[in-house]
Amino acid sequence: AQTVTQSQPEMSVQEAETVTLSCTYDTSENNYYLFWYKQPPSRQMILVIRQEAYKQQNATENRFSVNFQKAAKSFSLKISDSQLGDTAMYFCAFMSFGNEKLTFGTGTRLTIIP
Amino acid sequence: EPEVTQTPSHQVTQMGQEVILRCVPISNHLYFYWYRQILGQKVEFLVSFYNNEISEKSEIFDDQFSVERPDGSNFTLKIRSTKLEDSAMYFCASPRAEGTDTQYFGPGTRLTVL
């Protein structure tokens, strides 16, 4: 079974700074997808970014980018120019190719300080 | 704007009562997933549903749970006899288009069992 580990329960950073959230996973699969979801206080789950394991290029979405290290099974999220609206829980998630279910990590609570 | 909607947003029930949580896609999705998040914990997969059949379920999804598609546009999650430990947020999710892997979540139903 796949497992996803987020070793930082809480982080805080000053507004406009850059922050990196870590995620590691364990799998024997070669083809899979990785995701970061954001959960603000409203508790809505919002997709931030996705990465296909077969792509070497790191995914980027505006201020959000990932550092995907397949050999190390690491998938960190970098938030640049952090904004107050980035305050939320961030969950890393794994999905095997051909298997639809998402396996989530325990989350990192990120607080952006004005 | 969420891809799916869920009703009710908050449900309070007495232990032992039956509850039905509803999920309505904006477009006609064939794939559907239910997840659960106990307060302060990670999101956990419950069941996946494809073309009117369960395709996979977790060990959490015991005989107390059932899923249905009562009509062409609604998906339901039924808990027959609620327990205190069923108190959680329940999310449904769906891909934006058939054959894609990224799941978009509804806003969730907060279930409180007293």
pLDDT at A99 over 70: yes
- Give A-chain residues touching B102 at CB under 8 angstroms: 33, 35, 47, 50
Asked if A7 and A95 touch (Cβ cutoff 8 Å), the reply is no
How far apart CA B34 and CA B22 sit, in angstroms, is 11
Alpha-carbon distance A23 to nearest alpha carbon in chain B (angstroms): 14
Cα–Cα dist A93/A25, whole Å: 9
Disruptive mutation site among A102, A103, A108 for chain B (greatest number of B CBs within 10 Å)? A102
| Average pLDDT, integer, range A77-104 | 94
Mean pLDDT of B67-75: 83
The predicted structure's pLDDT at residue A67: 97
Q: What is the mean pLDDT of residues A40-62?
A: 92
Helix (H, G, I), strand (E, B) or coil at A84: helix
What SS3 state is found at B74?
A: coil
**pLDDT digit string (tens) for B21-55?**
999 876 666 778 999 999 889 999 999 988 788 98
A55 or B100, which is more confident: A55
Distance from CA of A106 to the nearest CA of B (A): 5
Look at B105 and A45 and tell me if their CB atoms are within 8 Å. yes
Å between B87 CA and nearest CA of chain A: 15
Pairwise CA distance, residues B90 & A10, whole Å: 24
B8: pLDDT strictly greater than 90: yes
The pLDDT value given to residue A65: 97
With contacts defined as CB-CB under 8 Å, which chain A residues touch B93?
A: 45, 102
Partner residues linked to A88 by β-bridges: A110
User: What distance in Å separates the CA atoms of residue B96 and residue B93, rounded to the nearest whole number?
Assistant: 9
Q: Answer whether A47 sits within 8 Å of B104, measured CB to CB.
A: yes
Question: What's the pLDDT at B98?
Answer: 59
Dihedral angle computed from the Cα positions of residues A70, A6, A21 and B110, in that order, rounded to the nearest 10 degrees: 120
Q: Please tell me what DSSP assigns to residue A8.
A: -
